[in-house]
Amino acid sequence: MQLAVIGVGGAGCRIASAIRAADPTTDSFVEAVFAFDTDGDALAALDDVSDPHRYRYGPDGDDGLEGDLERGLECGREHADELVEVLDRGAPAAADAILVAVGLGGTTGGGTVPPLVATLQRRYDAPVYVLGTLPADGEFVPADVGSAGTEHRSPTTGSDGDPDTPETPPRPRAPANAVDALERLDGRADAVVCFDNERWLRTGERIAEGRDRCNRELATRVAAVFAAANSNSEGAERGIDADDIGRVMGSTTDIVTIGYGEQAVDTGGSRFGLGLFSSDQTVERTSAVSAVETVTRNGIHGKLTLECEREAAGRAHLIVGGPPAWLDRQAIADARRTLEDAVGGARTLGGTVSRPDGDAVFATVVLADVAPVDRLEELRAAADRSA
């Protein structure tokens, strides 16, 4: 499976760059990466996006939009065809799907992505998925008061309270922007994969401090899903292709969340010298079973990109991967039944990914059509309070 990745706005461009950097395979699943922003300086800082695929459009930075999503939407409608022409020059027509990354609370990305996705759907015969991050409470909650009445540092200062420390300025409209952008994507995007920044920030951590780490976590999970459909699964029970991804993601703008578990394993070889692991390694079955069980349990019950009730999923997909000797068939079959039990009988798919040179067993859990989601309701309530 080949994926064209498009980052829009500051947050979206950083995520797109992180996905390029996270590609775990020699045979890349990323067909091309593009970065579209109104901020030329931010574009210049993207090390993992080639110069021809960085494109500045519209007014200069978010300041030119004055934090007004309606102005962002107007800018998006005005420039959508122009941005698609840039894509045409980058030849994404070979891609099996298009992934548009965006910070949903922002003005540039939140405004541009809905009309851009609509244009992409008209111009390309490929599913268009949106990868959207949700704003953290610290980005919009009034200074010194948290969502539960706890004290916070002023959002205009850094972690040490020094006003000279770089920090993201407060964005009181972020919840309303995120809710509005999601509503405008309804019926346009095939699916929306969400990542909740609030859940992934550490205690006391500001978004400016944690965003690179959060982006790497998100990119790891995205790569685990899409690279799986671009892998050689020789020796595995069942491989994965683009159709499998399409079946779990759907085509009716369902909300999607991703879980992930990983465990380092003894490969019985060394990368030193020949640079290869042993391909005929013998593994004790109990060890292989334990590893598959552990990563599956972590993928299902660990931290999701967007927290939800597992039983709320309409569809689910389990991807188990690692060195071939560790992919015990019965353990993988049992793992799929574990997922089926967790999602309460929802339609469940499964597949395996062989990583002959890998040193870990992993499980990726994709939950689609999840509703209701508490975090989205919290953002709607925050948007109503700020109206």
CA angle 23, 25, 28 (to 5 degrees): 70
In a domain, 52, yes or no: yes
Residues 165 and 220 in one domain: yes
Q: Is residue 235 part of a domain?
A: no
Together in a domain, 223 and 363: no
pLDDT given for residue 25 in this prediction: 58
Statement to judge: residues 191 and 315 lie in one domain: no
Contact 8, 86 (CB under 8 A): no
What pLDDT score was predicted for residue 162?
38
Residue 33 sits in a domain whose CATH number is: 3.40.50.1440
List the one residue out of 42, 183, 30, 207 whose CA is nearest residue 104: 183
**What is the pLDDT at residue 27?**
67
Q: Could you tell me if 295 and 363 are in contact, meaning their C-beta atoms sit under 8 angstroms apart?
A: yes
> What's residue 163's pLDDT?
39
Residues 275, 155 within the same domain: no
Give the chain as a 3 state SS string: CCEEEEEEHHHHHHHHHHHHHHCCCCCCCEEEEEEEECCHHHHHCCCCCCHHHEEECCCCCHHHHCCCHHHHHHHHHHHHHHHHHHHHHCCHHHCCEEEEEEECCCCHHHHHHHHHHHHHHHHCCCCEEEEEEECCHHHCCCCCCCCCCCCCCCCCCCCCCCCCCCCCCCCCCHHHHHHHHHHHHCCCCCEEEEEEHHHHCCCCCCHHHHHHHHHHHHHHHHHHHHHHHHCCCCCCCCCCCHHHHHHHHCCCCEEEEEEEEEEECCCCCECCCCCECCCCCCCCHHHHHHHHHHHHHHHHHCCCCCCCCHHHCCEEEEEEEECHHHCCHHHHHHHHHHHHHHCCCCEEEEEEEECCCCCEEEEEEEEECCCCCHHHHHHHHHHHHHC
User: How high is the pLDDT of residue 273?
Assistant: 41
Same domain, residue pair 216 and 341: no
The answer to the question of residue 243 being in a domain is no
Q: Is the same domain home to 146 and 291?
A: no
Confidence at residue 322, expressed as pLDDT on a 0 to 100 scale: 95
Residue 340 within a domain: yes
Question: Can you tell me the distance from the alpha carbon of 211 to that of 328, in angstroms, rounded to the nearest whole number?
Answer: 37
**Are residues 179 and 277 both part of a single domain?**
no
Q: 272 with 125, same domain? A: no
Q: Is 184 in the same domain as 328?
A: no
Contact 323, 267 (CB under 8 A): yes
Instruction: For residues 217 and 72, state if they share a domain.
Output: yes
Residue at 378 is within a domain: no
| Structure-token pair, residue 342 | 């967790």
On whether the CB atoms of residues 281 and 269 are closer than 8 A, the answer is yes
151 and 13 fall within a common domain:
yes
Residue 239 lies in a domain: no
Give me the average pLDDT of each 10-residue run along the chain (387 residues): 95 97 76 95 94 92 73 94 92 86 96 97 95 94 48 38 51 93 97 98 94 97 91 58 95 98 84 46 90 98 97 96 95 96 92 92 98 96 89
Q: Examine residue 244 and state whether it is found in any structural domain, yes or no.
A: no
CATH number of domain containing 261: 3.30.1330.20
Is residue 124 located within the same domain as residue 201?
Answer: yes
Number of structural domains (the chain) is 2
Is residue 361, in this structure, part of any structural domain at all? Answer: yes
Structural domain including 136 reads 3-229
